[in-house]
Each structure stands twice: as structure tokens, then as C-alpha cells.
Structure 1
Amino acid sequence: MWIYLCSALVAALPLVAFTVKRLSPYLWADILYIGDLVRILLKFAWRRRRSVFFALDRFLEQTVTRPDKPFVVFENDVYTFASTDRTSNRVANALLAHPGYTAGDAVALFMPNEPAFIFTWLALAKLGSPVALLNYNIRTKSLLHCFNCSKARVLIAAAGLKEAVEDVLPSLQEQGVLVLLMVQSCDTPGIQSFSDKVDQASDAAIPCSLRAHITYKSPAVYIYTSGTTGLPKAAVVNQNRLLIALAVLSANGVSSSDVIYLNLPLYHTAGFIIGFIGSIETGSTIILKRKFSASQFWDDCRKYNVTVVQYIGEVMRYLCSTPKKENDKDHQVRLAIGNGIRGEIWREFLDRFGNIQVKEFYASTEGNVGFVNYAGKIGALGRVNFVHRILFPYSLVKYDTERDEVIRGADGLCIEAPKGDTGLLVSKITNIAPFVGYAQNEDQTERKRLRDVFKKGDLYFNSGDLMRIDKDNFIYFQDRVGDTFRWKGENVATTEVSDILTLTDCLKEANVYGVQVPGHEGRIGMAAVTVKEGAQFDGSKIYNHVVSYLPAYARPRFIRIKDVVELTGTFKQMKVKLVEENFDPGRIQDPLYILDDKHKSYIPLTAQIHSSIITGSTKL
């Protein structure tokens, strides 16, 4: 009897499996993801039970278990876990010996992607110092603002950024800031060389007592994100958040045998937390690049036997835009982790470069909710399920894009957007999902808090992102609200660009916004401006001005001359119609100009130039 019963059950298994797959095709993926989620939470809880355990402690564990394993490979240099540990000790001891620094002082790091960035951050972690990760593209006003947000007492800069430091040196000296440059010698008064001190310092281990004051709520790093107020905001990433982030790569199937290609900026969340901190957790080898290069990408992957790559949407598009080669699929890359890839680019990437698993995710530096597209649905940024929603309560609420505010019912509460409709992503602020906010900016911190959402007195985080959830529970990014747009993988704050434009002699007002360009991710900068009475538009002067004050991704590519900048009843600049009209000279009667690096000027935007941009002949 039992034999017949067992035989019947075995025979029925294929039918059961087929039925489950038809009725719930993503069930197995859901089960595996929930298992990963539970494993992450258990690991986090176990680590929190210890007296102290931070990201640094995981690195120190790796130096014991795999001291001779390559940790960072940069150009022709290889640094093992042990040699990285010793070098960071020298940096820390050199700082300790300096009279201008005390263990625990906040320090600003102003460096591009290079090993010194990693050594210095580890050194500062050993000394218990929170670190502000400054974008090495910023200059003057923005640089000073970002530095001051962190209340740093020390600035450590790369050799190649000496001129940028000299531009703000008088202000730093007024504040009594210690300025260190990674060079052997420096003849600029007020800037001290630091590389020579590091070379002479001891590599003895740093006493744990120097970081005894650190708690899980202590700030670990400040990572900057652009906002609607104009200047960047310093998102506080505390030790607790960094500890949670340790599990990101391991949760995506990355192990110590993997080789990770890190070409995204280390001052960004993606490069720092996923690439660097994630590799500390897994014990993986990092192939560190100064910057992304589409032409070198796959040659590097083959040269270093890379197995895991990171991306943002633009990276994938650039790779797909390179000339096709016979060896496009000749590599060992098995996994790509990132965010912002469009569905059509995703398909093209897989078709051209082979069977690479793409793990698209959604998260923000300061946010308290994230999603992972663990099922691999092309075009989606994640998948939602009941377990995730229990742990991290979130919702999509109706949003009025014209009024730039959530829609509330007669009871004053928000209205949940129906499945399939676009809504603003909000996430409940809880002990498990906290929102720490921005350093020295309570006003902007409060703006990201949304109160009385579904009941009086509740508190949610306002992501500022419009999303849509389909019938299969996949979530899709739709657009950003407010005045920030994204170009070249960077957030651009329109108010900051407007302020800088109006510093010129000839411009009175500037309304900055992002417009779409066919074949490009995000939106490129455009400005509708008015000219001061009695002045003339000077393309060369404005070009030199924006190049001096703004990084390349934030410079308005198009300028439109108007008689007046239109305002709403609440004195907000009107952008909707301007965005719709784009940069088409066939639709716009106003004078139009385009930034031209060859002529170092803003030159008239003709129908011919417009056509070449639309067809892709002219690259932006």
C-alpha cells in the first residue's frame, strides 16, 4: 500500500511543479529571497549581540583569515588584506602624531578612486573618526558647503586636487582647519604634505581604546546627495546602517572567490558601500579603477578575470554603444549589480555580452527602504512581497505632480495609489527602518518626513520617487519629484545651477530643469534665462563661468533666452511647459543656445544641430 502511495506521489510531483509554476511563476524566487532576508537579519542580530562589531571589525577578521589574499588591485599594484591593514595603520599613526588632529575628530576626504582613499578611510575608522566623502568634482562654494556640513577639523586631499584646495584655503584657514595633501612636499603655506609622514610612520596596530566612544548610532560616513535647496546635503550613514550594508553583496551570491570591478566613484553610495564595504564582508578582490571607461571595460574584465561588475544605467548604455567585437562574450563576468538600467538596454546588454545575471535594485543613501529584483524581471527595479512589507512598511500614495504635493482625502490623510497606478513611494520610519537625516540641515531632514500618512501621528520617509507596482508585484521607477534631475549618474540640483548662472554679469534670472534626449538615460540640464537690462548674452563668458563653477554633469547643455521667467501663484518657477517643449528650435520661438566645448562657448542651436542630436550623430 505504502509503495503504491509513494509511487503516486512521485508521479504527481511534475504535475504539482508545473501547476505551481503556472499559477505562481515566481514562488521559488520569493522563497529564496525571503530566506536570504531572514539570514541577513539573523546575522545582523548576532553581530549586534556582541559588545561592539562594526564594518572595521569585519575587515580585521578578514586580515586574520585571509592575510595574503589580494584585496585591492590598482593598475600595476596589488595590496593584500594584510598589507592594506599595515598601510592603514601607518596613515593612522601619522595622523596621531600630528598636533592638529585628535582621535575622533571628523575628517573630510577629498580624493578620487585610488588606494589612498581606502587606506585613509580604514585608518580613520580605526581612530574613531567620522569621514565626509567629498565629491572630487565640486569646487569653491559647493566644496566649502560640503566640508562645513560635517564639522570636520581636518581635510585630507589627493595631490591632483591641490588647486581646488587652494581656492578655498583662506576660508579653511579662518576656521583653523588642518589641511593635508597626499604629496611628499608642499610649498603652499597652509597646506602640509602628508605622504612623507605616512611613509615614515609605524605600521603598529591602533589601540581599540581610541574608538571606544563609538556606538551603533555614531556617524560612520557622510555621503552627499543633491536636493531641491540647491547645495548638496550630507546624508548621515551611521555605524548601524553600515553594518546592515555589509550583507548586501553576500546576499546577492557574491563570495570570497569573486573578483569585483569597481569603477564607480568611491564617494558615492554604490562605489563605497556596495563595492568597497561589500567586499570587506565577502573577502572578495577589488579591481579599482580611477573612473569608468567603456573602451577599457571588457579588456579589464578579461585581464583581471573579473566575475562581478557594478553599474548605473548610464554604464550599461555606454557599454552597449561601443563598437561590436567578436570577443564581446569572451569574459568570466557572471553577475552585474546596480540600478537605473532601462528595459531595452537590459535586453541589448544580455544579447550582446552573454548570459550575465543582472541584479537590479533600488535604494537611496538616506532612505529607509530598498527593493531587489531578485526574480530578474527585465525593466523592474524590484519585487514586493508580504514579508518585506511587514519588516519595512511602505506604500505608494497618490501624488499631484503639478502642485508638487501628496493628495489627501477629506480626513486629511494620504490616499494609497491603486495597483498599476503611479504613486509616491513612502516608507514608515521605525526602529528597524530609521531615517537619520542630514548633517547640519534640520530643515531638509524635516522635508523628507511625511506626517499623518495613513493615521494621525504616523511618520513616513518621503522618497521623492514616483513608482508603479504591476499585477505581478514588480515595482517600476517612473520619475522623480521636485527640482532634482539625474544626468550621467549624478543628481543635479536645479537651484544650485540657477544660483551660479545668475552670478554672471549678463543674466538676471535662470530657471533650470532637465529635458530628455533620445537614447540617453536621465535628463540633461537646460536653463530658461532672462538677460539683464542693458546687457547682452555673452556665450563665451557664460561658458567659462559654468565650467569654472560646475562639474561637467551639472552644466546646462541648453540655454533658452526668455523675456520673463514665469512663476506660479506661490512664486515657484514654472517648469512643466518648458520641459515639454524640450530643446526643439522648431517648437520654440525664443533664441536657443547649446554648450560647445570645441568653441568654448554657448553657440546658437540650429535645426541641423538639433537633428544631429536626435539622430545620435552628436553625442552629449
Structure 2
Amino acid sequence: MIAWLLTTFSAGLFAIFLYQWTTHPFFWADLMYYLKLRRFKKAMQTRMRKGVVTYLDSFLHQARKSPHKPFIVYESQSLTYQDVDKRSNRFANVLRAEGSLKTGDVVALLMRNHPDFICIWLGLCKLGCEVAFLNFNIKTSSLLGCLQSCGARSLVVGADLVSSLEEALPTLKAGEISLWAVDHSAPRHGFNSLLDKLETVSDEPLPDRPKVNVMSNFLFIFTSGTTGHCKAARVGHLKAIGSMALLWLCGATAADVVYITLPLYHMSASLLGVGGCIQLGATCVLKKKFSASQFWKDCVKYDVTVFQYIGELCRYLVNQPWVPEEGAHRVRLAAGSGLRPDVWREFARRFGSVKLREGYGLTEASRLMPFELLKYDPKTYGPIRDDSGRCIKAQKGEAGMLVSPLSATSQFLGYAGNEAQSEKKVLRDVVRPGDVFFNTGDLLLCDRRNFLYFCDRVGDTFRWKGENVATTEVTEVLGSLDFLQEVNVYGVTVPGYEGRVGMAAIILQPDHKLDGGEIYNHLVRRLPSYAWPWFLRIQTSPDMTETFKQQKGKLVQEGFNPEVVEEPLYFLSLSQKDYISLSPCLYDDIVSGKILL
């Protein structure tokens, strides 16, 4: 009887599994990922019961567990978890004794990638300070705006960046901002030095490390968003501890050596990358700056097994000439976000031994979140609502605005000093009265198999001839032409027309010329006419952010006026089926309406 029941039960399970396999081909992959998430949640709950509840707690846990394990490898240096723990203690003791820093103080950090960036950051965490990561490329006005918005009263600056503060120094001194240089002596009047003071202080832990409210703010990370102005996004402790799981979810282990070339002021490097290494107890190979030509050589030199990417990093790699090291490395995994489909295909063809793990996330919101895709208005960039005031969900196969419900465990702490921008990111009464959602500003598409695809930023998608044009789609189409190295698509306004017409800033491959006729024929075959870029701008170098995202604001503002744009401009002539040089006379005919688009 028991044998019959077991046989019958097994047959029933087999039938269920067979049904799921045939009707949902990705059922098993989804199930395994779901179980992995459950396992991670259970592990986190166990660690939290043991007092490991913050980013700093996680680091200290690994420092106790594996004190002699290499944590940071930088050029010829190798620091163990214990080394970093003790050095961060020294920084904490100096800054408390000499800088009078205490719990709740906001300290801005302006440094390039270096082990001391991490040591100072952890030292400030041990003091209970909130750290603001500054982009070392920003200019004086932006820097001062960042300090004001987050309320920083102290600024720690790398020795090689002190000269960049020359113009800002009078304002900083007038505002009584305490200035610290990561140097052995004060580089100029008004600065305090840090490194010389480390030799005279203890490397023992602070006797009274402050308690932390896990629902409070941990970091300030600055994001330009669609406005072009820096916004101080608050990153809470829950967000930080959750971000540390990415590498583990992608399949990395404690035995991996993770190569991080992205700037540490960006959360992808600091929270997902370095934090991911801490979560695993892995080793981080930190690079001062990304170098496509040196990439595979470094991977061989440091025995790298995992690397982190974002934006166009992988595109730079596939555009590099072949080197012997790209076939001699041990890299097995690449984890990141923002990889375009055409680059993904080429990367997989050339570096097939490296598994790609593409994710999605935002500085302001959680990565592991429920979501909705909503119909949106391309003119107002807001959601479309029905007669009852509720938002309308996008259909399968239709690009929709990604939003996520906010709760105690899925927070949006807002932008410091900018309540108006914070409120713009919040949607209310989305599905039912009283609910609150976070508006990511991204457009995603869900296909019939429930795969999600990033389409565009809401502000990047433009409307022309009554149709929505996704810049990513046009970029991918143009990018498949072998004589184009870089493509950046955006919309520009033309007097007398509604919406924005397509324009593309392109970089030609070395030793190649512009073939406007081939571009025209390619567009005819691949895109509807409303999506064609009517104007081309030939560049010699791309406008990129430090995280390899294409800059569009300045390009949109300059438009296609040959008296404003110094680079060569071309116009699509339908009669000639070619792109022709855009002269001032031709420009005048377009804006006056003599030539119709």
C-alpha cells in the first residue's frame, strides 16, 4: 500500500513538473532564483540576530572571521581585512581627536579610487558619521552645491585633488568647512593633514562605537538625474545592506577575486562591488581608473575571476584589438547593468567563457522590489490615469514607466535639501487610494514570456510625428554599422514642429569615412521613418560620465545650429537618399520652414 502511494505520489509530482516544464520553460530557473532569495533572506535574518545589521557590521564580521584574508589589492599593495580594520581605526581616532567629529556629522569625501578611500569611509562609519561621496570631476559651483545640499561641515580630499579646490577655497573657508588632506603635510594654508597623524594614534577599536538606527540614513550619493543638477540621494542602512547581495546572487563566492574599475563615489562600486566582496569575504582588486587596453592584462596579473561593469564598459572591451591575455585569463563572471543588446551579443561571441549577469537598480531605490509598468504621457513624463484617477498598467509588449511601492523595508529617503525633487519621484493613488509608489523614471518592456527589457529613460524617449521614439532602439540599429564606433541618439526641437526630431552624435571607426548613403539604406531597412535621425553630429571623442553613460544634456541644448556646434553636422536629404553637409544657409531654410521635415 505504501509503495503504491509513493509511486502514485511520485507520478503526480512528475506530471506537475512536466506541465510546468512544457508551459513555463523558465520555471526551474525562476524557482532556483526564488529559493536563492529565500536562502539569502534567512541568512540575513540569522546574521541580524547576531548583531550584523549594517554595512560596517558586515565588514567587522569578516575582519573577525578571516583577518588574514586579502581584502584590497591595489597596484603593488595588498591589505588584509585586518589591515583595513586597523587602519580605519586609526583614521577614526585622528578625526575624532583632531577634527572633533561625532555621531550624526556629515563628512564629504573627495578622492579617487584608492585603499584609503575605503579605510577613511569605514573610519567615519565607526564614528557614526554620514559620508557624502563627491564626484571628483565636478566643478566649483557644483561642488559647493553638493556640500550645501547634504549639510557637510567637513571635507576630506585626496592629495592629488587639492589643487582642484583652488577656486572654491574662499567660499569653503568663509563657510567654516573643515578641510582635511590625505597627505603627510598640509598642502596649503587652511588644510589639515591626515597621514602624518596616523603614526601617533592607536589602531584599537573605539571604546564607545555609537549605536545605529537601521532605518536612518547611511550615505549621500549624488545623482544628476534628468535635471542636470546634482541631487544628494539619501541611501539608508537597509538599502546598503541589501545592495551587498548582488555578487552573491550572481554566483560569486568567497574564493573569487573581483576586479573593480568603476569610481568608488558611485554606489555600483562602493556598495555593490566592495560591499559585495565584504558580504562574501572575497578579495577586491581595485583599479584607480578603468583602462580598456590594460583590462585583460590586469585580469591575468591579479588572477581575477569576476569583474563588475556598468554602462558602456563592455563596449570599450569589444572595440579593443585582440591581445593574448584575453584568452589566458580565469574570469568566469561579469556582473552589472546597462549592457546594450548589440554589445551583449558581440561580447558573448568574443568572450564566450565569461557569463554575463545583468541586473537593474537605482541609487534611490531597492533592487529587490515588486513593481508595476504604467502607461505614460511623453509630453508630461507622467503616468496616464483613468476616469477614477488610478494609473493604467502597460500591456505586454508595450513600454511602460517602472514604479515600485514604498514601504518600511523598501524606502525612498529622498534628496537632501531638495524636497521638490523628492516629491516628484513619488506617485500616489497608483493602484488603489492611499498607496505610494516610487517613480524610477525608466521605461521597461515586459514580453509574453515575462522577460523585462530596459527601453529608455522617460526624458530620453521623445515624440515625433505622433510616435514615441526610443533612443536605445535607434542607437542599437546605428551601432550595428561597422564604420560607426560610438552612437548617441537624442531629440532636438525644430521651430514650427511639435515634439522633437531625432539627431545622433557619432564617432567613426579609425580610418573610416562617413557613408551617409549606407546609413540611409540601413535606416530604411531597420526603422520606421519617424525614428530616423535627421541630423548627424560627427565627434572625435564621446561625451560620457564616469560610469560610462552617454551625456545628452549639452548635445540637446546645442541642437543642430552650425554657428553653435563646431563639429561637422549633416542633414538627411530624402531626395538624394544621403546625409549632406549642413551649411548655415541650409540651416536657415530648415528653421524657416522652406525645407520640410
For the aligned pair, the TM-score class normalised by the smaller chain equals: 0.7 to 0.9
Partner of 1:159: 159
Q: Pairwise mapping of residues 258-269 of structure 1 onto structure 2 (< 5 A)?
A: 258-269=256-267
Structure 2 equivalent of residue 126 of structure 1: 126
Give 1:197 deviation, angstroms: 1.5
Quick check: 1:469–1:475 contact (8 Å CA) kept in 2? yes
Secondary structure of the corresponding residue to residue 603 of structure 1? coil
CA distance in 1, matches of 2:419, 2:314: 37
Match of 1:71 in 2: 71
Asked if 1:402 corresponds to 2:325, the answer is no
DSSP-derived class of the 1:362 partner: coil
Q: 1:256 aligns with which of 254, 257, 263?
A: 254
- Do the aligned partners of 1:368 and 1:461 also contact (CA within 8 Å) in 2? no
> Could you tell me which residue of structure 1 aligns to residue 510 of structure 2?
none
Q: Which residue of 1 aligns with 2:566?
A: 603
Give the CA deviation at 1:526: 7.8
Q: CA deviation at 1:10?
A: 8.7
1:111-510 mapped onto 2 (5 Å cutoff): 111-207=111-207, 209-212=208-211, 214-325=212-323, 327-370=325-368, 392-482=369-459
The one-character-per-residue Cα deviations of 1:473-499 (angstroms, maximum 9, x if unpaired) are: 1100111013799xxxxxxxxxxxxxx
Q: Distance in 2 between matches of 1:319 and 1:596?
A: 16
Which residue in the other structure is 2:21 paired with?
A: 21
Secondary structure of residue in 2 paired with 1:456 = coil
Within-5 A mapping of 1:532-611: 576-578=499-501, 580-582=502-504, 603-605=566-568
**1:127 CA drift (Å):** 0.7
**Cα distance in 1 for residues equivalent to 2:178 and 2:352:** 50
Aligned residue for 1:44? 44
- How much has 1:8 moved relative to structure 2? 9.8
2:31 — aligned with what? 31
User: Which residue in the other structure is 1:384 paired with?
Assistant: none
Distance in 1 (alpha carbons) for counterparts of 2:269 and 2:503: 36
- CA displacement at 1:139 relative to structure 2: 1.4
Unpaired stretches in structure 1, ≥5 consecutive residues? 371-391, 486-512, 529-561, 569-573, 609-613, 615-620
| CA displacement 1:281-336 (0-9 Å, x = unmatched) | 11000000011111111111111111111111311111111112455332211111
Q: Which amino acid aligns with 1:106?
A: V
What amino acid maps onto 2:438 in structure 1?
F
For residues 487-538 of structure 1, give each alpha carbon's deviation from its aligned partner in whole angstroms, at most 9, with x where no partner exists. xxxxxxxxxxxxxxxxxxxxxxxxxx9995943899749897xxxxxxxxxx
Q: In 2, distance between residues paired with 1:430 and 1:63?
A: 33
The alignment's C-alpha RMSD in Å is 3.4
Which AA in structure 2 matches 1:354? G
Amino acid at match of 2:119: F
Report Cα offsets for 1:354-395 as digits up to 9, x if no partner. 32221110010102454xxxxxxxxxxxxxxxxxxxxx4421
- How much does 1:126 deviate? 0.8
Please, which moves more after superposition, 153-162 or 1-10? 1-10
Change (3 A) 1:338 1:394: same
Aligned-partner SS, 2:416: coil
Per-residue CA deviations over 1:227-257 (Å, capped at 9, x if unaligned) read 2333111111111222222322223222211
**Contact kept in structure 2, 1:428 and 1:461, CA below 8 Å:** yes
Within 2, Cα distance between the matches of 1:325 and 1:188? Answer: 45
| Partner Cα separation in structure 1 for residue 570 and residue 52 of structure 2 | 64
Contact persistence 1:70–1:81 (CA under 8 A): yes
TM-superposition CA deviations, 1:162-191 (whole Å, max 9, x none):
122222111111121110111122342212
Deviations 1:265-291 (A, max 9, x none): 111111011111111111000000011
Per-residue CA shift, 1:580-614, capped at 9, x if unaligned?
144699899999786889xxx96341559xxxxx9
Say if 1:595 and 1:603, in contact at 8 Å, map to a contact too: no
Instruction: Tell me whether 1:106 sits opposite 2:106 in the alignment.
Output: yes
Structure 2 gaps, min length 5: 463-470, 507-513, 517-531, 543-563, 572-578, 580-597
Using the aligned pairs only, state the percent identity.
Answer: 40
Structure 1 residue 3, shift from structure 2 partner? 7.7
| Alignment check: 8 A CA contact 1:227 1:484 kept | no
How many Å separate the matches in 2 of 1:246 and 1:447? Answer: 28
Cα distance change on mapping 1:283 and 1:420 into 2, 3 Å: same
How many Å separate the matches in 2 of 1:420 and 1:516? 20
Q: What is the alpha-carbon distance in structure 2 between the residues aligned to residue 355 and residue 245 of structure 1? A: 26
Secondary structure in structure 2 of the residue aligned to 1:328 = helix
- The whole-number CA distance in structure 2 between the counterparts of 1:588 and 1:27 is 41
Distance 1:131 1:158 in 2: 15
Q: Contact 1:221 / 1:237 at 8 angstroms: preserved in 2?
A: yes
Letter of the 2:568 counterpart: L
User: What SS does the aligned partner of 1:346 have?
Assistant: helix
The equivalent residue for 1:536 is none
The corresponding residue for 2:57 is 57
Task: Tell me the CA shift for residue 129 of structure 1.
Answer: 0.6
Q: Which SS does the other structure have where 1:89 is aligned?
A: helix
